[in-house]
């Protein structure tokens, strides 16, 4: 079945540095990818919708200059957390689908800890 690979699974970085998270669709071409953030005991909050070859659409309240999303190919989207701060520590999850009403496939998530 369809698989979405997310890398790294966990990362620790220092305040002020940038961290890149990759989301790859392994056996299908994903026209759309979504990035979510999950706080402890809270729901997955949609951060942005990424369409291949175009700029990402960010949800209200998400800083696009802080959370840079690139969807350069049909199999890869990246989320870069720039100038990370401890409050950016969270669990980030990507999902991908082939087209409009296709099922969504999720990555295993990335645990980011900013010290």
Contact residues for 41 (Cβ-Cβ < 8 A; gap 6+): none
Cα 97 from chain centroid (whole Å): 14
Applying CB under 8 A, which of residues 25, 31, 32, 75 lies at the interface with another protein?
32
Closest CB 80 distance from another protein, rounded Å:
21
Give the nearer residue to another protein in terms of CB position, either 51 or 82.
51
* φ, ψ dihedrals at 82, nearest 5°: -95, 145
37 in Cβ contact with 92 (< 8 Å): yes
How many CA atoms lie less than 13 Å away from 19 in the CB half-sphere? 25
Residues between 46 and 105 that touch another protein (CB under 8 A): 46, 49, 57, 93, 95, 100-101, 103-104
Q: Which two tokens stand for residue 53?
A: 């070859």
- Total residues contacting another protein by CB under 8 A comes to 22
Applying CB under 8 A, which of residues 6, 31, 78, 90 lies at the interface with another protein?
6
Q: In whole angstroms, how large is the CA radius of gyration of the chain?
A: 13
Give the nearer residue to another protein in terms of CB position, either 28 or 34.
34
Sites of contact with another protein (CB under 8 A): 4, 6, 32, 34, 36, 41-44, 46, 49, 57, 93, 95, 100-101, 103-104, 106-109
């Amino acid at each position: 079945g369809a698989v979405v690979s997310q890398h790294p699974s966990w990362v620790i970085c220092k305040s002020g540095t940038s961290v890149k998270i990759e989301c790859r669709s392994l056996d299908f071409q994903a026209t759309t990818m979504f990035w979510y953030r999950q706080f402890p005991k809270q729901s997955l909050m949609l951060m942005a919708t990424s369409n291949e070859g175009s700029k990402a659409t960010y949800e209200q309240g998400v800083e696009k200059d802080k959370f840079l999303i690139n969807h350069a190919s049909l199999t890869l989207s990246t989320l870069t957390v720039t100038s990370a701060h401890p409050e950016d520590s969270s669990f980030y999850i990507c999902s991908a689908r082939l087209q409009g009403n296709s099922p969504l496939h999720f990555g295993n998530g990335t645990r980011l800890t900013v010290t």
